Amino acid sequence: MKQTRAIVITGNGTNCEMEAAHACRLGGFDEAVIAHIAEILSGEIRLDDFHFLNLTGGFLDGDDLGSAKAQANRLKNAQVTGGNEKLVDQFTRFIDDGKLILGVCNGFQLMVKMGMLPGLDGKYLNQTVTLTHNDCGRFQDRWTYLKVDPASPSIFTKGINKGIYLPVRHGEGKFLCDSGATLDRLEAGHLPVLRYSDAGYAQSTMEFPANPNGSTNAIAALCDPTGRLMGLMPHPEAFVHYTQHPRWTRENLPEEGDGLTLYKNAAEYARVNLV
Amino acid sequence: MANRIEAALRDGVRDARGERIKREIEHFLHLPVERVATIDVYTVDADLTGSELKQAAAGPFSDPVIQVWSIDRPLAGGFDFAVEVGFRAGVTDNVGRTAREAVAYLTGRPFTAGDGVYYSVQYLLKGSLSVADVEKIATGLLCNTLIQRYSILSAADFVAKGGFPAIAPKVSGETKAEVREIDLEVSDEELMRISKDGVLALTLDEMKIIQGHYRDPEVLADRQKFGLGAKPTDVELECLAQTWSEHCKHKIFSGTVQYEDEKGNKQEIKSLFKSFIQRTTKDVRERMGEKDFCLSVFKDNAGVIKFNEQHSLVFKVETHNSPSALDPYGGALTGIVGVNRDPFGTGIGSKLIFNTDVFCFADPFYTKPLPSRLLHPRRIFEGVVEGVEHGGNKSGIPTVNGSLVFDDRFAGKPLVFCGTAGLMPAVVNGQPSHEKSIKPGDLIVMTGGRIGKDGIHGATFSSEELNENSPVTAVQIGDPITQKRMFDFLIRARDKGLYRFITDNGAGGLSSSIGEMAGECGGCRMDLAKAPLKYPGLNPWEILISEAQERMSLAVPPEQIEEFLAMAVRFGVEATVLGEFTDNGVFHMLYGEQTVALLPMEFMHEGLPPMQLPAKWTPPHNDEPVLEQKENYNDDLKKLLAALNICSKESVVRRYDHEVQGGSVVKPFTGVANDGPSDAAVVRPLLDSFEGVVTAHGICPRFSDIDTYHMTANAVDEALRNYVAVGGSLDLVAGLDNFCWCDPVLSDKTPDGAYKMAQLVRSNQALYDVCMDYNLPLISGKDSMKNDFYDGTTKISIPPTLLFSVIGKIEDARKAVTMDVKRPGDIVYLLGRTADELGGSEYLALSGAIGNKVPHVDTVKAYQRYQAYHKAVNKRIVASCHDLSDGGLAVAAAESAFAGGFGMDLDHSRVLWKGDAAGKSDCTLLFSESASRHLVTVHPEKQDEFEAVMNGNCFASIGVVTEGQNLSITGLNGDVVVKADLSELKEAWQLTLREL
């Protein structure tokens, strides 16, 4: 296997599969496959054949039981046809194999509700944090400045200088921990990769609308201690070209958008470490 | 015995939903509440073990980080009143459906028939409230009693009774499969009683045509062969009522109109649709010749045009007004997911690329009394906005363009326009994708949701017919996820060539979709007993006409059926074979072995003679207000910026995902602080290409108070000038018309029908005239003709309203232009002439006046100017461009300036004038809404080039962009007539709807 391969899972209300696959290709993956969950459950497509798993934005099951709850339950309990394993076993093996997972928005919600993030002590099926209703009580589509933690182990944000500018589009993005102890461990490990901040990326902020949801410590993104699993509420795949920027008609912007960095880093990591 | 699983937030976790309800109670109902807390309740009516219940509660039904759960033990505490709200029996319960699915994954066992999970929300109110107050909160805010049920317990009762009982709102009913025969050999009065009591909405003439059909000996002989008697079955009568309804048949647009104009000239118009709308497209296409880009117009669920050699664009705009008046949330949600099915069911099926929404409401701050059956405009506003938000966002389709229009007459009926565009490969499996056919022998397949009593007889029901055990019959609630699953499956089935024909199940349900499909090949035979039902107890006629949502109808060749059905199972989508298409000319319905309807296709589709409609145009004469000339118009400008039709709609727009799918180029908001109002949307549907789709719209119902001819001309012009402003190409742009009228059929209830009909004729005349001059083919549209409220005493008719939408192309989206000024020193141009045309303007509306001087569109000059401007866009010499509409030059200048964060100095003496100089004043120059104008800024180094490109057109340099933070306008006599700080202007513009 010499090709770097990304997979984007869709189905049951996932929405951003097309642009996520596009971002993977632009970022340098040799192949980006959009796989419907039905094709994975039927055994036609196996996660083992890929290096980078994208859990993208959307409204899995309509957010009906709280965002991503029903899908977390489905992934944990659903059986893959023609084998003796559950889907969750493929996920666990994917993580054990040292591969990459990026959860965006609804995908981030899914990762925390399955317990894949923060993945403390190597426990990837243990929920300790959550994402819930925005303090403003409403869905918000607006662009946010995200200050990066340069000491974060995330492999996705390597090389980002101060921060990145990306849109959020969610109703349930408020990050909460089950305890102060968990939060302390996250902070000590530099796992909160990105925080909502001012336009100069100087200070993180709790002020609406710069912080659109009221997240604890302004946390917008989280990675596991290995840095190979990351989730974020803002949409990196929505800013890979300057025409996606809300002010591109008035600012001189480089060709590539801020979000593309995450996919380029993933592709580079996969090429060096996984093929 | 059902079990209650409750999930409540842990102490210290903020209850955003509760806080929002608290705010709304204070805001809408002016009742003091200290605190509102909420609890999720799942009533599980299924055979689960205790440990399975615990697994469900601790797993999918709660979030361990923020919630606690309980089984059959109330969690509520610290409240004065508890209100629990759940759905009535049979109403779509999306959360309950997902919960049920989650439990099945957990246990590994499917649910048995009749078992279910039902969702409700408990609201815990703390505060000094009376029982009557809580009743008001329940019915006025928390619960729409048409579709939901509620119960209230005081804290003391709650303790005494141990909380709310576990009640599963199951539909009780048995399979009846009853078919009645209706005797039509009765008096005229009795015929009308049958029509009225049966909610058939058939006129006496139509009933007599049906009566005549059943007297035909040949018909009777055919019926005898299939065991049917001489009387129509209820299935047949209901089917004809649907097929011949105004909604499906567009009888007014296809009727024969006797029109008389103000000079007494008489004209007979055979079908407004054919004479104006279809003719527009035909004539424009003929003139375009080889450049014609239309692929499929008027014959499918949506119009299809060429996008490039490889892809075709599909577009449709629909209305869902009556359902939104009754249940704003469900009605609007169904509106958006319903219109999604139109492009999806066009040609062989298209991928959906964006939505557009336009809502017309009465003032949300309305304080006058309303007829008791009407919901308050604010509640309609909230519900509609949220319904479309959920429908659009959850479906993963960006909402890229829209409007909110306010007029108090929309209290009678709100207008909810929802549009969806799609993109499909020009060729699929070797066939042009916009064409489709059916062969006799193809199987009738229905996919998606199940059939219930939803939407039977649409909006004509009354609430008295409802009770706890009878499912709601008229209101539907959309389920975007079931639909999304179906689309995910069908688009893959399309690419594998597994079906030959696809269409939507909308109004009229199967009777309409299969009826139309059968017209393609000449007949069908369908067994209604095979249709999957949500619950037992539906009669065959109900199965046939139910408008239950999320369903598509397909024709699948027999050799593909196995693969089609197997794939559906894998994708978790229900697909059922209901029968087959034939060519025997008969619409043949069975229920098991028994024939329940036998209707000749020709009679169904061609049996109805055209309506006869009188129309007489008498121009209205409104009082002509005398304009007060002022020294300073700062206050007027601020008032205008704060007016409902002009103010910022950002609080609503931010709730709609306008960027999903990644192709957003010109967003709804733009400028230095991302908050200036864009004129139109630009989207790249293909991420590896810079070709863009441009969409825009025009709507100006206020002008109907003067003349619908000019209302229409201005709406079409507004749509095109918005489209042109951002850089849309005039070589590839098409229009869609959505007429929303008040009833124009002369009758006792509508004594002014001839006038309203004349308004409709004039609107159509303008549509033809303007579209011809603008080279705009009409590719699709819809009419909704009964937008009145009448309770026997009060009648509220909406102003005649045309929503005109355009869709087209920008060759290179990187050349798109936004409305925000870009830098100081740029030259400000006004393209187009201004006239004394304040009639129907927002400015006159400030003082409650209408006037008579409605803007006239000079289409020939405007089109030339639009073409020249587009050349400038292509040369990248335009820095910004904003269209002038509501509020005229003053409002457009203020918006462009504060969006860009730079001031503007303008000079009235440099503005080009049209017509009588007597009407020229600072007031008319500032606020006149003359058509076809743009405010453009250009960098000084591009000045010569811009002026050369625009040469020969009406345009003038009227000022400059400044470093300062003021909008300054010099009046005709040299004095400054507007000088206002940008932040003040912006604040006025943003404040009105900020908190909504």
pLDDT digits (tens, 9 = 90+) for B774-805: 999 999 999 988 888 887 788 889 999 999 99
- Under an 8 A CB cutoff, do A74 and B65 touch? no
Q: What is the mean pLDDT of chain B?
A: 92
The model's pLDDT over B139-177, given as tens digits with 9 standing for 90+, comes to 888 988 878 899 999 999 999 999 999 988 887 766 677
Nearest to B818 among A10, A244, A249 (CB): A249
| B3-161: CATH, from 3.40.50.2000, 3.30.1280.10, 3.40.30.10, 3.90.650.10 | 3.30.1280.10
* Nearest Cβ partner for A132 among B66, B688, B817: B66
Q: Return the percent helix, strand and coil in chain B, to nearest 5.
A: 35, 25, 40
With CB atoms and an 8 Å threshold, state whether A70 touches B659.
no
Q: Is A235 on the interface with B (CB under 8 A)?
A: yes
Are B13 and A176 in contact (CB < 8 Å)? Answer: yes
Cβ contact, residue pair B105, A77, below 8 Å: yes
Domain residue spans in chain B? 3-161, 188-246, 444-520+550-569+577-582, 819-996
Cβ within 8 Å, pair B900-A74 = no
- Marked catalytic residue, from A16, A24, A223, A235: A235
| Partner-chain contact A135 B14, CB within 8 Å | yes
Contact B809, B694 (CB under 8 A): yes
The CATH number that applies at residue A60 is 3.40.50.880
d(CA B326, CA B339) in angstroms, rounded, equals 19
Range in B140-144, B538-542, B694-698 with the lowest mean pLDDT: B140-144
A19 in B contact zone (CB under 8 Å) = yes
User: In the numeric block, which tokens belong to residue B570?
Assistant: 């894998």
Say what the pLDDT of residue B372 is.
75
Inspect the interface and report whether the beta carbons of B99 and A64 lie closer than 8 Å.
yes
Contacts of A39 in chain B (CB under 8 A): 570
**Distance (Å, rounded) from C-alpha B117 to C-alpha B101?**
9
Please tell me the distance from the alpha carbon of residue B913 to that of residue B208, in angstroms, as a whole number. Answer: 60
Best of A77, A213, A216 to disrupt the B interface by mutation (most B CBs within 10 Å)?
A: A77
B479/A130 Cβ within 8 A: no
What's the rounded Cα separation, in Å, for the pair B956 and B938? 12
**B675 contacts chain A (CB < 8 A):** no
Cα separations in angstroms, B659 against A255, B109, B393: 19, 39, 10
Is any Cβ of chain A less than 8 angstroms from the Cβ of B194? no
Closest-CA distance of chain A to residue B826, Å: 13
- pLDDT reading at B864 higher than 80: yes
Q: Is A181 on the interface with B (CB under 8 A)?
A: no
Mean pLDDT confidence for B657-669? 96
Q: Which residues of A touch B818 (CB under 8 A)?
A: 249-250
* Residue B172 backbone dihedrals phi, psi, to 5 degrees: -95, 130
pLDDT tier for residue B869 given thresholds of 50, 70 and 90: very high
Asked if A159 reaches chain B (Cβ–Cβ under 8 Å), the answer is: no
Q: Do A139 and B655 touch (CB under 8 A)?
A: yes
Chain B nearest CA to A251, separation (Å) = 9
Q: How far apart are CA B123 and CA B113, in angstroms?
A: 31
Average pLDDT over residues B568-594: 94
**How many residues are there in chain A?**
275
Of B286, B397, B300, nearest to B780 (Cα)?
B300
pLDDT of residue B457: 67
Mean pLDDT of B842-857: 96
Looking at residue B477, what is its pLDDT? 77
pLDDT digits (tens, 9 = 90+) for B286-311: 999 999 999 999 989 999 999 999 99
Contacts of B469 (CB under 8 A, 6+ apart): B89, B171, B172
CB contact under 8 A, A249 and B570: no
Q: Do B817 and A78 touch (CB under 8 A)?
A: no
| Per-residue pLDDT, B547 | 86
How far away is chain A from the Cα of B64, in angstroms, using its nearest Cα? 8
**pLDDT at B466 (0 to 100):** 30
Q: Give yes or no for B377 touching A (CB within 8 A).
A: no
Work out the pLDDT band at B371, boundaries 50, 70, 90.
confident
Chain B residues with CB under 8 Å of A237 CB are: 662
* CA B737/CA B767 separation, integer angstroms: 9
Q: Residue B448: beta bridge partners?
A: B551
Q: What is the pLDDT of residues B732-774, one digit of tens each?
A: 999 999 999 999 999 888 899 999 999 999 999 999 999 999 9
Question: Which residues of chain B does A12 touch, with a Cβ-Cβ cutoff of 8 Å?
Answer: 481, 484-485, 572
Give the integer Cα–Cα distance in Å for A238 and A260.
9
Considering only the beta carbons, identify the residue of B102, B570, B684 that sits closest to A65.
B102
Mean pLDDT for the stretch of residues B111-125 = 92
Q: Does B660 touch chain A (CB under 8 A)?
A: yes
Residue B801 CA to residue B71 CA, distance in Å, equals 53
Indicate the pLDDT class of residue B63, thresholds 50, 70 and 90: very high
Q: Does A234 touch chain B (CB under 8 A)?
A: no
Residue range B363-378: mean pLDDT, rounded: 86
User: Is B247 noted as a catalytic residue in this protein?
Assistant: yes
Asked if the Cβ–Cβ distance from A61 to B817 is below 8 Å, we say no
Q: Which tokens is B533 given?
A: 């039902």
B738 contacts chain A (CB < 8 A): no
Model confidence over B511-539: pLDDT tens digits?
989 999 999 999 999 999 999 988 888 89
Share of chain A above pLDDT 70, in %: 100
pLDDT of B189-238, one tens digit each? 999 998 887 778 888 889 999 999 999 999 999 999 999 999 999 999 99
Mean pLDDT by 10 residues, chain A (275 residues): 91 94 98 95 94 95 90 90 88 97 97 96 95 92 97 97 96 95 97 98 96 97 98 98 97 96 98 95
Candidate from A64, A167, A246 with C-beta closest to B98: A64
Provide the 3-class DSSP secondary structure of residue B47. coil
Taking the Cβ of residue B688 and every Cβ of chain A, the question of whether any pair is shorter than 8 Å is answered with yes
Residue B467, pLDDT above cutoff 60: no
Hey, are the CB atoms on B393 and A59 less than 8 Å from each other?
yes
Which of B59, B65, B99 minimises the CB distance to A129? B65
| CB atoms A238 and B662 under 8 Å | yes
**pLDDT band at B257; cut points 50, 70, 90:** very high
**ipTM (interface predicted TM):** 0.96
Strand ranges inside B3-139, DSSP E: 3-9, 35-45, 67-71, 81-87, 116-126
pLDDT (0 to 100) of residue A1: 53
Please tell me the distance in Å from A78's CA to the nearest CA on chain B.
6
Residue B790 has a pLDDT of 83
Could you give phi then psi for residue B117, rounded to 5 degrees?
Answer: -125, 135
Interface of B with A in 454-493 (CB under 8 A): 479-481, 484-485, 488, 492
Residue B416's SS3 state is strand
Query: Domain tally for chain A?
Result: 1
Q: Is the pLDDT confidence value at B928 over 70?
A: yes
Report the C-alpha gap between B384 and B379 in whole angstroms: 8
Averaged pLDDT for residues B552-564: 96
> Does the distance separating the beta carbons of A13 and B816 come in below 8 Å?
no
Q: In chain B, pLDDT over 70 holds for what percent of residues?
A: 98
Catalytic residue among A17, A19, A172, A237: A237
Between chains, do A127 and B65 touch, taking CB under 8 Å as contact? yes
pLDDT at B468: 37
Q: Which residue of B has its CA nearest to A16?
A: B661
- Smallest CA–CA separation between A272 and chain B, in Å? 27
Higher-scoring residue by pLDDT: B815, B330: B815
Contact B662 A244 (CB under 8 A): yes
Say whether pLDDT at B460 is over 70.
Answer: no
Q: Is A208 on the interface with B (CB under 8 A)?
A: no
CA-nearest residue of chain A to B10? Answer: A178
In sequence order, what are the beta bridge partners of B693?
B683, B809
- Active-site annotation holds for B27: no
Comparing B371 with B466, the larger pLDDT belongs to B371
pLDDT, one tens digit per residue, over B883-923 is: 999 999 999 999 999 999 999 999 999 999 999 999 999 99
Q: Which pLDDT does position A83 carry in this prediction?
A: 77
Does residue B464 have a pLDDT over 60?
no
B657 closest CB neighbour out of A36, A169, A243: A169
Q: Which domain holds residue A92?
A: 5-273
Q: What pLDDT was estimated at residue B174?
A: 67
CATH superfamily of B819-996: PurM-like C-terminal domain (3.90.650.10)
pLDDT, one tens digit per residue, over B965-979 is: 999 999 999 999 999
- From the list A18, A40, A64, A36, the residue with the least C-alpha distance to B480 is A64
What are the chain B neighbours of A132 within 8 Å (beta carbons)?
A: 13, 16, 63, 66
Nearest CA in chain A to B657: A141
